[in-house]
Amino acid sequence: MRNPSRSGPLPAALIVLDGLGDRPHPATGDRSPVEAAATPNLDRLAAAAELGEVSILGPGVAPESDAGVLALLGYDPVRDSPGRGVLEAMGVGLELRPGDVALRLNFATIDRTGRVLDARVGRSLSTAESTELAASLTSADLVADTGVRAEVRATVGHRGVLWLRHGTGEALSPNISNADPFYEKVGGMGMARRPAEPRREPAEPLEATPAAARTARILNLFLERSSRLLAEHPRNVARRGRGEKEATGLLVRNAGSLPTSPPEPIEHRYHRRGAALTEMPVERGIARLLGLEDRFVGPMTGEPIAGYRARAEATRRLLEEFPFVYVHLKGPDEPGHDGDAPRKVEVIEQIDRGFFGPFADGLDLAAVRVAVTADHATPCVLRGHSDDPVPWLLVGGSPPRPASRPPPKFGAPLPKAPSWPASQVLTRLFAPAPGPSRR
């Protein structure tokens, strides 16, 4: 790690645990999963840290991950985001052109009336299966009669990207509503919502232009035709025979196009070179959008402790090379969506043991600054994102003081916990330590 006597800022790491925030749950003793989890390594950091909460986008706004990350990095997701679809497309290397539109896509289980039975196909759709379905949808060229080429790119599991390529010289418009009932589009940002009876909704133009009307019409046509193709696809026939949920339709959201004025790079805004260690395409897309060095490691596979240890070692190496490192760990979000509080506890404990154990081992807190937080809350009781504030830990920049009491429990409720907006996270992380650490 950098010698603190050298000139220049201390290296700083922002470690984001996706969906970490939660609420008390009966399956975890009426505590939140993060409070119930055994996190001795995070607790040791907390003993020398400034603790509090971060409000991601404020009351009443339940952000998606891309909006939460952009806010934590000091950007306005409504104004600065090109849309979730574009970020996902950038994350998988699609070469969008001006006038094209990209949307985030889920393969889903949808009945013939449009009712959404499962927005993620029970999380049982493998990446190999979704890749096969995506190839069939692309090769069918389902809206060729409109002069538009629709390409589907599978990413991870049930996730994917829909790329609408205009081919007649008429540009398409991203100003259309979502066909995914679980998310509302607000500017370039997606906001989670919980419909009482979820049904796939027709896309509607959000502006009174021929391009928006045409794009909505073409998208709805594509969704209708794709459902017919998927219903009898051999992959779904095989899943039906095994009694598994089928990928019978698509949910798409947060249409976007290439920005005419990309947001200011991180290095220009904060005068620090940066790198990003990410697992999912959307966070990789954000890294590329903001000019961070892209160190994509992909989703977790194999033994989780070994996977988290490898990420910890990579983070320590990056801190030797870059003044700023952004790390995104997906783990806690999925069990939150599944309503599985014991599993969320297990994942948090794996991250503490596998990532924070080796990451903090031998770490000179006088020579580095570290912030740990989340991009949003995914309470198990809600099975979705919420506007709840998320835990915050900031440590480093000065030697830790001797502990005068047992370490505080990371993620436990704090009396009169200080709270900051996400827009202040990097400002606080990059600020010199004010002296002895506080808690």
Nearest 5°: phi and psi at 240?
-60, -40
What's the whole-number mean pLDDT along residues 331-339? 96
Judged against a pLDDT cut of 60, whether residue 1 lies above it is answered with: no
Judged against a pLDDT cut of 90, whether residue 342 lies above it is answered with: yes
What's the whole-number mean pLDDT along residues 5-10? 66
**155-159, 171-175, 274-278, 395-399: the lowest-pLDDT one:** 395-399
Query: 101-110 and 116-118: which strand pairing?
Result: antiparallel
Strand partners, 152: 162
Judged against a pLDDT cut of 80, whether residue 337 lies above it is answered with: yes
* Residue 158's pLDDT band (cuts 50, 70, 90): very high
**6-10, 11-15, 178-182: the lowest-pLDDT one:** 6-10
Judged against a pLDDT cut of 80, whether residue 5 lies above it is answered with: no
pLDDT of 13 reads 98
pLDDT tens for 112-142 read 999 999 999 999 999 999 999 999 999 999 9
Judged against a pLDDT cut of 60, whether residue 217 lies above it is answered with: yes
pLDDT of 400 reads 59
* Residue 417's pLDDT band (cuts 50, 70, 90): confident
Nearest 5°: phi and psi at 32?
-70, 155
Rounded to the nearest integer, the mean pLDDT of the chain is 93
Judged against a pLDDT cut of 50, whether residue 349 lies above it is answered with: yes
Please give the order of strands across the beta sheet that includes 50-55: 293-296, 274-278, 324-329, 12-17, 369-373, 390-396, 50-55, 419-421
pTM of the model: 0.92
pLDDT of 170 reads 83
Judged against a pLDDT cut of 70, whether residue 4 lies above it is answered with: no
% of the chain residues with pLDDT over 70? 95
pLDDT tens for 15-31 read 999 999 999 999 999 99
What's the whole-number mean pLDDT along residues 299-325? 96
Produce one character per residue of 379-394: b if its CB has 16 or more CB atoms within 10 Å, e if not.
bbbbebbbbbbbbbbb
What's the whole-number mean pLDDT along residues 326-340? 96
* Residue 399's pLDDT band (cuts 50, 70, 90): low
Listed residue (284, 285, 287) closest to 297, CA to CA: 284
pLDDT of 189 reads 85
What's the whole-number mean pLDDT along residues 89-112? 95
* Residue 414's pLDDT band (cuts 50, 70, 90): confident
Measured from the Cβ of residue 310, the count of other Cβ atoms closer than 10 Å reads: 16
The whole-angstrom separation of Cα 190 and Cα 68 is 10
What's the whole-number mean pLDDT along residues 139-153? 96
**100-109, 323-332, 416-425: the lowest-pLDDT one:** 416-425
pLDDT of 405 reads 61
pLDDT of 403 reads 55
* Residue 402's pLDDT band (cuts 50, 70, 90): low
pLDDT of 438 reads 39
* Residue 401's pLDDT band (cuts 50, 70, 90): low
pLDDT of 7 reads 56
The whole-angstrom separation of Cα 209 and Cα 295 is 40
Judged against a pLDDT cut of 60, whether residue 436 lies above it is answered with: no
* Residue 373's pLDDT band (cuts 50, 70, 90): very high
pLDDT of 9 reads 85
- The full set of domains in the chain, from first to last, is 12-82+261-430 (3.40.720.10), 94-256 (no CATH)
Measured from the Cβ of residue 435, the count of other Cβ atoms closer than 10 Å reads: 8
Judged against a pLDDT cut of 50, whether residue 3 lies above it is answered with: no
pLDDT tens for 38-82 read 999 999 999 999 999 999 999 999 999 999 999 999 999 999 999
